């Protein structure tokens, strides 16, 4: 496989919401959702180092894991289809047709459904052995594009923002705010910031999913102190749990800001931010960077699930 020459960038745009204005807090959104219609959000930045590694090793493609609505697998399949490399997806649960799984097949990704018990074994020693034997030509990628390589791919987001501060008329920013699943993007920001600015992560999944452990592991591998960030609970009862309050809030923010969000990650992060702002966690004059991590390809299915 050849190394793609694509190097996308994303704009930074002000977020205009009444509750931010009332609190005197300024927020600018890093619009990773706008980099591409298919290879969207933070997913490309986590995948890019794995694609580079696969090309260096002479692999023919990548194999990874995710659920039936996985934004990660969708981005991987779209990248493989566009840049001409093989992709295989190992999916959680039993065979089911969702808009995402249908599109994965349309994008030429080969799918294997592991059941729920089989998928739970993804972190056990030896999980990858049979798949390496079956697909020796493919490079395995951790769930969600996690690990040190994925985090390193997200480090460039810091410079992407800093290069656009003049357009915001900001001398600097005070902190980052983003939704957290595996914690890979947050770890990348922490690595790049090296203590210069704190990073706040709104946990869109329960703590038992292990984001804290994964972040700590990445920072340890990078020989960086396990600090410079704070995790807050924003799961609202569990992974992919959607409620009326969240949906009403998301739709109100979309109408006011003219930006689209999705209820599983970005809307949960935004609601958690409002709670912190209204509790006085940030003094007037605070400037925050909110990372829009994408995920809009699964928005319709997530909304239908919540109604």
Report the pLDDT value the prediction gives residue 123, as an integer from 0 to 100.
87
Q: Which residues of the chain have pLDDT under 50?
A: 307
Q: What is the pLDDT of residue 305?
A: 60
Task: Give the pLDDT of residue 242.
Answer: 86
Give the model's pLDDT for residue 307: 44
Positions annotated as catalytic residues are 70
Residues of the chain with CATH 3.40.50.1100: 12-40+149-306, 43-146
Summarize pLDDT for 176-212 with one digit per residue, the tens: 999 999 999 999 999 999 999 999 999 999 988 889 9
**pLDDT for the residue numbered 297:** 77
Give CATH for domain 12-40+149-306: 3.40.50.1100
The answer to whether domain 43-146 has CATH 3.40.50.1100 is: yes
Strands (E), the chain: 12-14, 26-31, 61-66, 86-91, 110-113, 138-140, 175-180, 199-203, 229-233, 287-292
Percent of the chain surpassing pLDDT 70: 97
Give long-range contacts, CB 8 A cutoff, 24+ apart: 271-276: 271/234, 271/236, 271/245, 271/246, 272/202, 272/232, 272/233, 272/234, 273/27, 273/177, 273/202, 274/19, 274/249, 276/200, 276/232
């Amino acid at each position: 496989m050849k190394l793609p020459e694509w190097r996308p960038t994303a704009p930074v745009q002000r977020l205009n919401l009444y509750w931010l204005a009332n609190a005197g807090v300024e927020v600018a959104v890093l619009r990773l959702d706008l980099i591409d219609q298919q290879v969207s959000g933070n997913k490309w930045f986590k995948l890019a180092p794995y694609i580079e590694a696969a090309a260096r090793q002479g692999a023919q493609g990548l194999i990874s894991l995710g659920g039936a609505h996985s934004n990660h697998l969708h981005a991987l399949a779209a990248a493989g289809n566009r840049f001409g490399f093989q992709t295989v997806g190992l999916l959680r649960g039993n065979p089911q047709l969702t808009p995402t799984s249908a599109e994965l097949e349309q994008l030429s990704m080969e799918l294997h459904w592991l059941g729920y018990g089989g998928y739970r074994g993804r972190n056990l020693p030896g999980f990858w052995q049979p798949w390496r034997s079956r697909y020796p030509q493919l490079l395995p990628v951790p769930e969600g594009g996690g690990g040190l390589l994925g985090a390193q791919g997200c480090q460039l987001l810091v410079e992407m923002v800093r290069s656009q501060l003049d357009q915001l008329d900001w001398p600097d920013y005070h902190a980052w705010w983003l939704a957290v699943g595996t914690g890979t993007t947050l770890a990348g920001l922490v690595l790049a910031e090296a203590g210069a600015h704190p990073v706040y992560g709104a946990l869109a999944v329960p703590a038992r999913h292990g984001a804290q452990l994964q972040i700590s592991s990445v920072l340890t591998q990078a020989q960086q102190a396990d600090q410079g960030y704070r995790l807050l609970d924003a799961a609202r009862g569990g992974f992919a749990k959607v409620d009326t309050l969240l949906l009403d809030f998301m739709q109100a923010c979309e109408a006011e800001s003219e930006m689209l969000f999705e209820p599983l990650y970005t809307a949960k992060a935004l609601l958690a931010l409002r709670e912190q702002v209204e509790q006085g966690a940030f003094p007037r004059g605070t400037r925050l960077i909110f990372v829009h991590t994408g995920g809009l390809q699964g928005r319709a299915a997530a909304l239908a699930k919540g109604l």
